[in-house]
Amino acid sequence: MTTHTGVKPHSCEMCGHSFPIKYHLVGYMRMHTGEKPHSCEVCGYSSQKSSSVTHMRTHTGEKPYSCEICEYSSSRKSNLTIHMRSHTGEKPYSCEICEYSSSQKSDLMRHMKNHTGEKPYSCEVCGYSCSRESSLVTHIRKHTGEKPYSCKTCGFSCSQKSSLVTHMRTHTGEKPHFCEMCEYSCSQKSQLLKHVRTHTGEKLYSCEVCVYSCSDESNLVRHMRTHTGEKPHICEVCACSFSAKSTLVRHMRTHTGETPYSCGVCGYSSSQKSDLMTHMRTHTGEKPYSCEVCEYSSSRKSNLMRHMRSHTREKKGMSLISILALKKTRTYNMPR
């Protein structure tokens, strides 16, 4: 009858918490004593509560709670309840400070630390601190070099499960992130955010030394090296150093002889994409570099530069500006 009357005659002597039933008090007291009387006969697992049936399912693989919408199943009813919210969109846990809401109470508790600034998990090596224990575990791997997540296709390994998920898309070709302005799609959300800036023209990252600005933080990092002279990417063969990793990759091909860019028309191949683009003009006949003095045009900028010298030699004592002015005069006086 105590459940109806609200009377709670059984009180904890350590903290004063009270219960209507003595059995509930007995189980609660184990939180203070640390007693775990319920043990698993398979692995030695023990618990304060009589949850042996649920625990045994980790050994048997039994998952009696199934989703009626998809193929998800679980060993716990509470897990199924949470899963169903992914279908219904229900988010019963709401933040009292902002508009954030979640389907799990644990997610809300982690979110609240963004407002309080609480970072209870600290790295003993470098002093890094964070609000999530899982974030600290991932961070520690930077120090230990541990990479527990491995690709079964190519041997790639990483410290975060999310990185492996992203990597697997290089094998599957999956590109789940789509641009709403064009047909561009990509495998990473961060790549999509960078791409969208090509439409908006937004340049979030600015150089503090000069007026340079860009939409990608990595581009700013590379740009800053033009001011500092830093060249962190070093060739292991000849000790030549570069400010950009991509430049080192191209340089290494001078040692390996690798020519990954091939012409689809003939057997030509090159170590740089720009060289292949120039070569393709021998097939297409395209000559984008034109002389402003005469009708000469070329497929290479270097050829145009050499050609311009022929004008300066022909017109001794005349500047290039004078030559261009003469050309305009001749064009104007030409009979029509």
Flag whether pLDDT at 209 surpasses 90: yes
**Within 13 Å, how many C-alpha atoms sit on residue 155's CB side?**
0
State residue 10's pLDDT score. Answer: 79
Which listed CATH number (3.30.70.20, 3.30.160.60, 3.40.720.10, 3.40.50.261) goes with 1-62?
A: 3.30.160.60
Q: What pLDDT sits at residue 313?
A: 65
Q: What is the pTM of this model?
A: 0.45
On whether the CB atoms of residues 79 and 85 are closer than 8 A, the answer is no
pLDDT digits (tens, 9 = 90+) for 255-292: 999 999 999 999 899 998 889 999 999 999 999 999 99
Q: What's the average model confidence in pLDDT over 60-84?
A: 88
How high is the pLDDT of residue 314?
56
Between CA 160 and CA 143 the distance in angstroms is 14
Amino acid of residue 248: L
pLDDT score of 225 more than 90: yes
| Maximum CA extent, the chain | 116
Residue-wise pLDDT for 128-148, tens only, equals 998 888 889 999 999 999 999
pLDDT at residue 49, as a whole number: 62
